[in-house]
């Protein structure tokens, strides 16, 4: 029985969605940052955690975004 990577509980077939190669509860597959519910296969991922493509992933990890911890700044 697969365990949901978000809540660590068993995922039964009826409530299962598969994304990032793992099985999730439907309500557990949501953006780590804003909590928006995500569609399997059409969202971003970082460190095995789901994020929405916009705005969260782009803002956090995308090119030109912030949060990379680098020293490079404003290169427009």
Write down the least CB distance from residue 71 to Zn ion, Å. 26
Residue 5 C-alpha from the chain's centroid: 11
Q: How far is the CB of 76 from Zn ion (least distance, A)?
A: 24
Among 28, 29, 38, 44, binds Zn ion (CB under 5 A): 28
Could you tell me the smallest distance in angstroms from the CB atom of residue 72 to Zn ion?
24
The interface with Zn ion within residues 31-60 (CB under 5 A) comprises 31, 33-34, 36, 52, 56
Contact yes or no for 45/59 (Cβ under 8 A): no
3-class DSSP state of 37: strand
Distant-in-sequence contacts of 24-27, Cβ < 8 A, 24+ apart = none
What DSSP designation does 28 have?
A: G
- What does the binding site for Zn ion look like in residue numbers (CB under 5 A)? 4, 6-7, 25, 28, 31, 33-34, 36, 52, 56
């Amino acid at each position: 029985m697969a365990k949901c990577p978000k809540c660590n509980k068993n995922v039964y077939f009826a409530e299962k969605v598969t994304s990032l190669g793992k099985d999730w509860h439907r309500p557990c597959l949501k953006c780590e940052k804003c909590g928006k519910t995500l569609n399997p296969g059409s969202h971003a991922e970082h460190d095995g955690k789901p994020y929405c493509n916009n705005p969260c992933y782009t803002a956090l990890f995308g090119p030109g975004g912030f949060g990379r911890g680098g020293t490079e700044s404003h290169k427009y």
